[in-house]
Structure 1
Amino acid sequence: MSATALAVSHHMILVKNVAYLSVSAVEFTDRMRQVLSNAVAHISFSGGVNEAQARLMLRNAVEVELGQPRIEHPSYAQALRCAREMLAGELIPA
């Protein structure tokens, strides 16, 4: 596994943990924004990719998670969709 793939995998665990907060009705948006910002910075630094590539890689990982049949709670799926939108736009700080 490459350093970039390892970084994406590591940060997806954090993204999923923040998404699980939404199941407990915890406000997650600010936490998700910070996790995504840190993830993009770390992936681009450790993997030798630019920020746009890091965002795309992380967004693809979120898409894969959204495609899993085991997602049962709508709040979790909504939090992941929110993360996907943050990664697609300029909603996370550089």
Structure 2
Amino acid sequence: CTRPFTVFSWNGADRAQNRRKKTNICLTCARLKNCCQSCMLDLSFGLPIAVRDAALKMVAPGPQSDINREYFAQNNEKLIEDGKAGIEEYEKTDEKAQELLR
């Protein structure tokens, strides 16, 4: 994600080690990928996004130029606000791959 966004920072659960967590990607990209903004893990399977995408063969080529990426993000942000988009389409993936991840 190369879009500007507000970075939130907080103390994690293990305060004894003084580990701070922060957001790594914008909310729009996190909703499109169905992942956590800070740990970048899939919300359904608890796996890193790269592993999930490889197993489900969901890697789609995205826009390459900065302007096209911004246009793509703006359009998807509007769709998310309207409730027409927001999560990855797991229904279109292979059932065997879904069982493998569970």
After TM superposition, the score normalised by the length of structure 2 is 0.25
Larger radius of gyration: 2
Instruction: Identify which of structures 1 and 2 has the higher relative contact order when contacts are C-alpha pairs closer than 8 Å and 6+ apart.
Output: 1
Higher helix share: 1
